[in-house]
Amino acid sequence: MSSFPHCKNMKSKEKRVQIIVVGEGGIGKTCLVIRYAEGRFPEDYIPTQFCTEVDMTQAGITYKANIIDSGGNGEDFYRLRPIYYRGANVVVMCFALNSKWSFDGLLHIWNTEIQFHLPETPMILVGELNQFCLED
């Protein structure tokens, strides 16, 4: 049995998993993806990169992981998100530990949207400490 039970294309030689990262804009989602994919933290602000592919190993099985950065809650991203939700195997829901508004957005906007589009998809909650995200 696969370590990613919702992972599609398990019969093909190359195993793939699609991970979508969601949360309010400017809280550090892209930094999280870059840190995981490249092993470094960016020194300057980097705008959303949308899709990053990395190899990952879980329980001795190597997967090609497409990590999709949802791009926050802007109007342009809002229209694109349902496209990215299709085929997602895992949702990483991010908020800034030093920002109540980002957690409230996660509860009231992102959770509702994810439950609508991906009701059976596993979710991981990630709290990030973002020095650039100021509490309002």
Tens of pLDDT, residue by residue over 90-129, are: 999 999 998 899 999 999 989 999 999 999 999 999 998 8
- Who has greater pLDDT, 119 or 77? 119
β-pairing, 61-69 vs 51-58, is: antiparallel
Q: Measured at the alpha carbon of residue 66, what is the angle toward residues 63 and 68, in degrees to the nearest 5?
A: 150
Cβ–Cβ < 8 Å for 95, 103: yes
Ordered domains of the chain (ranges, CATH):
15-128 (3.40.50.300)
Contacts of 20 (CB under 8 A, 6+ apart): 67, 68, 70, 84, 85, 88, 90, 91, 92
DSSP H or E stretch at residue 92: strand 90-96
Residue 12 has pLDDT above 60, yes or no: no
β-pairing, 15-22 vs 61-69, is: parallel
Cβ–Cβ < 8 Å for 66, 16: yes
Contacts of 59 (CB under 8 A, 6+ apart): 3
pLDDT band at 7 (very low <50, low <70, confident <90, very high): very low
